[in-house]
Structure 1
Amino acid sequence: MRRAKATAPRGFTLIELLVAIAVMALLSLMSWRGLDSMSRATLQNQQRADAVLTLQATLAQWGADLDAVIPLAQTRPIDWDSRVLRLTRRGSDDAAPSVQVVAWALKSGPDGVRWRRWQSQPFTTRGDWQQAWNLAAAWAQDGGSGSGSGGYSDVPLVPASSWQLYYFRDNVWAPASQLPTAAPNPNNPAGPVVAMPDGVRLVITLPPGDGLAGTLTRDWVRPTVGAPKS
């Protein structure tokens, strides 16, 4: 009786190996593209979230500055020259009452064109107010940071391509301009030089590329407007 010969195990042919390698390469490529898409989406979502948080903090500071505006004798509580907005506001330290000048302007820097905020050191005299008021105007014009050993700060905020202000006066919104000098008040001869408008409307354009884009409008109304008279 003849024995059957044992057959040697059959291996993969060259073509089968090449096909298997091609399939694995294709699967690896598809997996990499999927991971890359997920990574890009995560990065974009994070950039947008960071941009939203920065914008919210910026607008909160904008509203806080306007809420804290204080009219002082022979000073300007607000001034807009189509380039920079300057405000005279209360200091942030309630334990040590003081006054500060803040300024908002659109300026270019190493990080591109951004809406920026300048703040003076706290002061208590009218002479210091005049110095800070002039420094705020110079900061907006000369392109400098205004920061230094004197305690002045310049903070870049959100990217912006343009901005415009409107004042609410006499029950109508109108483009902001230099406010007229207030008529002398016999009952308050030491009043401010100009009166604060009833409202301020901010219209700012955010450029594409940083998570947010488009035109944003923000209205601020003076807290005392519409308040019952005592």
Structure 2
Amino acid sequence: MHRLTRGFTLIELLVAIAVMALMAMLSWRGLEGMSRAQSQLQIHADDALALQVGLSQWRSDLDAMAEMRGSTALDWDGRVLRITRSHPVHEPASMQVVAWTLRGEGANGNWVRWQSDALTLRSDWANAWSRAQTWGQTPTEAERPHEVVVRPLLQWQIFFYRGGAWTNPLSSEGTPTTTKVDNLTTAGTSSAPDGIRLSLDLPAGQSLRGKINLDWVKPTLTGQAQ
């Protein structure tokens, strides 16, 4: 007796191939979606890290602010914020001038930081202080190695906390102070307020967008700004 072996018909093969193709397509779409989500999460994490590093550097510059006789600790002209700070690496007597500004407008704006080399002479400080302001207005190629682009930015605002209130820094006045720097007590007029509020407007189209406010309080202040 002969046993008949029945195989798949053409229609059954076509249906099986169609089902396998559909399953492969669905699996590919799932993998593509997972890859896209992972890429977006990585972009968000990188953007958040860049912003965190920038804000940490901002606070570090303000915390290390040095107020000395014959020099300006902090100045805001409406465009560039300049800070005289102690150098984080060199000898305690070394100073450094740093500056922050918004370069560009609208979607092309960037938050940028500039820093000088270590300074030990008052004449070097005066020169760096002047260079920082010039850099914020008309940057030159010679100053490019001294700057770092922190992140894209639409606009920023700065407020000073003085006399128990947040005020426009261009209308604030310095207050008499006595400061101790490197075991040397100096007296003069402080350009540093009790607190500084930084308001950043992050552009749309980025993983992080909207407004961010950061308040800094002078480390030597006994009370806290509200």
TM-score range, shorter chain: 0.7 to 0.9
Determine which of 166, 169, 173 is the counterpart of 2:166: 173
Equivalent AA in structure 1 for residue 209 of structure 2: A
* 1:69 counterpart residue number: 65
Alignment gaps of 5+ in structure 2: 179-185
Query: Residues 27-176 of structure 1 correspond to what in structure 2 (within 5 A)?
Result: 27-93=23-89, 95=91, 97-108=93-104, 112-144=108-140, 147=143, 153-176=146-169
Structure with greater helix share of residues: 2
Identity of aligned residues (%): 43
The Cα shift of 1:195 comes to: 2.8
Aligned-residue offset at 1:217: 0.5
Indicate how the Cα distance of structure 1 residues 205 and 99 shifts in structure 2: closer, same or farther if over 3 A, else same. Answer: same
Whichever structure has more strand as a proportion of its residues is 2
Displacement over 4 Å in runs of 4+: 190-194
CA drift of 1:100 comes to: 0.7
Amino acid at match of 2:158: L
Please say if residues 200 and 212 of structure 2, whose CA atoms lie closer than 8 Å, have aligned partners that are also in contact: yes
Give the gaps of 5 or more residues in structure 1: none
TM-superposed CA distance for 1:37, in Å, is: 0.9
Separation in 2, partners of 1:208, 1:18: 49
From 16, 22, 29, the equivalent of 1:20 is 16
- Cα distance in 1 for partners of 2:121, 2:91 equals 18
Q: Is the 8 A contact 2:90 2:118 kept in 1?
A: no
Paired with 2:101 and 2:50, the residues of 1 have a C-alpha distance of 17
Rg larger in structure = 1
State the number of aligned residues: 215
RMSD (CA atoms): 2.6
Q: 2 CA distance for matches of 1:99 and 1:145? A: 24
**Cα distance in 1 between the residues matched to 2:212 and 2:124:** 35
Q: How far apart are 1:178 and its partner, in Å?
A: 5.9
